[in-house]
A = this chain, B = another copy of it.
Amino acid sequence: MSKTPNRSRKQRAPLDIRSVAARANVSIATVSRTINRVPTVNAKLAKRVWTAIHELGYVPNTQARALGSGRSGMLGLVVSEITNPFFPELIQGFEDVAIENGFEILISSTNYDPKRMEVCIRRLLERKAEGVAIMTFGIEQPLFEQLAERNIPLVFVDAGPDRPGVSLLKVDYGHGIRQGVQHLAALGHRKIGFISGPMRLHSARSRSAAFLHALKECGIAARPEWHVEGDHTLEGGIKAMEKILECASRPSAVMCSNDMTAIGVLHKAFRVGLRVPADLSVIGYDDIQMAKVTIPPLTSIQMSRVDLAKAAVRALKEHIVEGGNPQREYKIDTHLVVRESTAYPPGAMSDLKSS
Give A contacts to B, CB under 8 Å.
6-7, 9, 11-12, 57, 59-64, 66-67, 69-72, 82-83, 85, 87-89, 91-92, 95, 99, 104, 107, 109, 119, 122-123, 125-128, 146, 149-151, 234, 238, 263-264, 266-267, 270, 289-290, 292-297, 321, 323
Contacts and interface: CB of A to CB of B under 8 A. Distances in A.
B62 A128 contact: yes
B62 A293 contact: no
Contacts of A89: 83
A82 B71 contact: no
Given A63-B128, A88-B88, A127-B62, A263 B83 contact: no
A89 to B, nearest CB: 6
A99 B113 CA distance: 16
A59 B126 contact: yes
Copies in the complex: 2
A61 B123 CA distance: 10
Chain B CB within 10 Å — which of A61, A63, A87, A92 has the most?
A: A63
Contact of A293 (B12, B85, B263): B263
Given A7-B71, A63-B63, 15 more contacts: A9-B70, A60-B126, A62-B63, A63-B72, A63-B128, A64-B67, A67-B67, A83-B92, A87-B88, A88-B88, A234-B293, A264-B293, A266-B293, A270-B295, A290-B290
A29 B49 CA distance: 38
A63 B127 contact: yes
Contact of A296 (B125, B238, B270, B321): B270
Contacts of A293: 234, 238, 263-264, 266-267
